Amino acid sequence: MKKMKYAIPVLLLSTISADAVIGLGDKIVDTRVKMRNIDGSMKTIADEIGKKGTLVIFTCNHCPFVIGWQNTMVEIGNAYKKKGVGVVFINSNDPTVKGDTFEGMQKLAKKEHYTFSYLVDSTSDVARHFGAKKTPDVFLFNADRKLVYQGAVGEGGRGPLPGGESFLKNALDELLEGKPISKKQTKAIGCSIKFR
């Protein structure tokens, strides 16, 4: 009977974690899943949680939409990491797809000067649990680990539109200023995640 008392919450937690697809206001998931970082170490999302918030971007090496937004994503990642936002990029693609190898990830991160983790989602389950479907796909969480913004990096197609709105940057600024996020969800065309 004593064992049952603990079994039920554990079972519930595992169910939530297994089926979760998060929406606005939901807490971040899969924080304890170990993923290989580009420096060879094993990291979790929990290792990257920031005091002011946490930015998770599902990305990859080869998608033309990622390539078009790469500079913007890296600039934002590097800048806001310094401001207390945890930043982590995650690659959930099947590595048998050309260009999405671990070595490819390391090369890209070095070339683009990532100062944050770029992790391998080795089962694609982290993407599934977040509800990420394409690359790039942005998830911004507040200091309470609740999802406050999800969607596109900014306005544009295969890269920023001149004079276009920078959705993610605006959401980050509003988060850091303690303001409500004015645009909580946006959409952009992207490459489907090559789920394993």
Using CB under 8 A as the criterion, which residues of the chain lie in contact with other proteins when the complex forms? 64, 97-98, 133-134, 152, 155-158, 161, 186-192, 194
Positive or negative, the CA dihedral 175, 179, 185, 189 is negative
Compare residues 37 and 124 and give the one whose CB is closer to other proteins.
124
Residue 164 beta carbon to other proteins: minimum distance, rounded to whole angstroms: 9
Compare residues 53 and 156 and give the one whose CB is closer to other proteins.
156
Residue 16 beta carbon to other proteins: minimum distance, rounded to whole angstroms: 23
Residue 122 beta carbon to other proteins: minimum distance, rounded to whole angstroms: 20
Compare residues 2 and 98 and give the one whose CB is closer to other proteins.
98
Compare residues 85 and 188 and give the one whose CB is closer to other proteins.
188
Task: Using alpha carbons, select from 13, 62, 21 the residue that is nearest to residue 147.
Answer: 21
Q: How far apart are CA 14 and CA 171, in angstroms?
A: 31
Q: Which residues pair with 87 in a beta bridge?
A: 55
Residue 6 beta carbon to other proteins: minimum distance, rounded to whole angstroms: 38
Q: How far apart are CA 37 and CA 182, in angstroms?
A: 33
Q: How far apart are CA 68 and CA 117, in angstroms?
A: 20
